[in-house]
Amino acid sequence: MITIKVQTAPFDPGELTNSVHAGDAAIGALVCFTGYVRDFNQQQTVQGLFLEHFPGMTEKSLQRIAELAGERWPLQAVHVVHRVGQLELAEPIVFVAAASAHRQDAFEACAFIMDYLKTRAPFWKKEHTAAGSHWVEGRFSDLEAADRWADDQESP
Amino acid sequence: MITVLFFAKYKEELQTERLQLDWQQDWRTLGDVRDHLARRGAPWTILEDSTLMCALNEEMCSLNTPVKAGDEVVFFPMVTGG
């Protein structure tokens, strides 16, 4: 079961974790990742973030990434929640959960989804600092991280 | 006609979110559309950025992807979500 949400509203990672499991006894392992707004980047103090996205394509991209994970690992559930708009320091940005019978599949699927999300889903961060606001530059290390799954047959 | 969308830094620097362009008979790929826009000169040369990414009809693609009249083309900087 795949659940994709792109929303401006804050979310509670703990509540989401429990909702993914939802008493499903087939789930033996649930791996969750939460990404937060941190207070520094590229040697500047960050005061907050604005997240832009491409409505429509964003949801389709996340759905496709989750489907690819499901083709690669036996998963009971995948949840992806990503915020857009204005975010404050320390707030959660993204939540990814992969549920499987066994831990290795859940660990790998969660990492795969995050690596693909970072490089293939149309989100852009703009950081607010004391010196003004600027768009965050994409990192080639993120592309390299996604490349480790490169024996995929197709791309989202 | 072809629709071209821009996001994030490109949208700001070009002060353009959406364009409608007349179809050019010699266009074959997204790269041809990109080159057509970059020939306008600054600030459009930002589209020659080596980290430019693109999408065709809401699917990620490359500059080598074929394009046709009626398509929606999107140009954007490297994504930074997550």
Show the tokens assigned to A51.
Answer: 């997240």
Contact state of A136 with B80 under an 8 Å Cβ cutoff: yes
Kindly give the pairing relationship between strand A2-7 and strand A75-83.
parallel
The rounded percent of chain A whose pLDDT value lies above 70 is 95
Give pLDDT tens digits for B28-73: 999 999 999 999 999 999 999 999 999 999 999 999 999 999 999 9
Contact state of B79 with A156 under an 8 Å Cβ cutoff: no
What's the whole-number mean pLDDT along residues A8-37?
A: 96
- Domain with A70, as residue range(s), is 2-140
Give pLDDT tens digits for A26-42: 999 999 999 999 988 77
Select the residue of A54, A126, A156 nearest B74 (Cβ to Cβ). Answer: A54
CATH code (residue A33): 3.90.1170.40
Q: Give a yes or no: residue A46 inside a domain.
A: yes
Find, among A31, A55, A18, the residue nearest to A105 by Cα.
Answer: A31
Q: Do residues A1 and A79 lie in contact, with contact meaning Cβ atoms separated by under 8 Å? A: no
Q: What is the mean pLDDT of chain A?
A: 93
Query: Does A43 score more than 80 pLDDT?
Result: no
Q: Give a yes or no: residue A145 inside a domain.
A: no
Q: Give a yes or no: residue A103 inside a domain.
A: yes
Higher pLDDT, A140 or A60: A60
User: Chain B residue closest to A123 (CA)?
Assistant: B81
Identify the structural domains of chain B with CATH numbers, from first to last: 2-76 (3.10.20.30)
Contact with chain A for residue B9, Cβ under 8 A: yes
Total domains, chain A: 1
Q: Give a yes or no: residue A156 inside a domain.
A: no
Report in angstroms the alpha-carbon separations of A80 from A66, A126, B9, B37: 8, 21, 26, 36
Contact with chain B for residue A85, Cβ under 8 A: no
The model scores a pTM over 0.90: yes
Amino acid sitting at position A4: I
Find, among A21, A27, A24, A45, the residue nearest to A129 by Cα.
Answer: A45
Residues of B in contact with A124 (CB under 8 A): 7-9, 76-77, 79-81
Instruction: Give the ipTM.
Output: 0.95
User: Cα distance from A77 to chain B (closest Cα, Å)?
Assistant: 20
Select the residue of A93, A114, A123 nearest B79 (Cβ to Cβ). Answer: A123
Contact with chain B for residue A53, Cβ under 8 A: yes
pLDDT at residue B31, rounded to an integer: 98
Select the residue of A60, A138, A155 nearest B80 (Cβ to Cβ). Answer: A138
The beta strand positions in B1-82, using DSSP E, are: 2-6, 18-21, 53-56, 59-61, 72-76
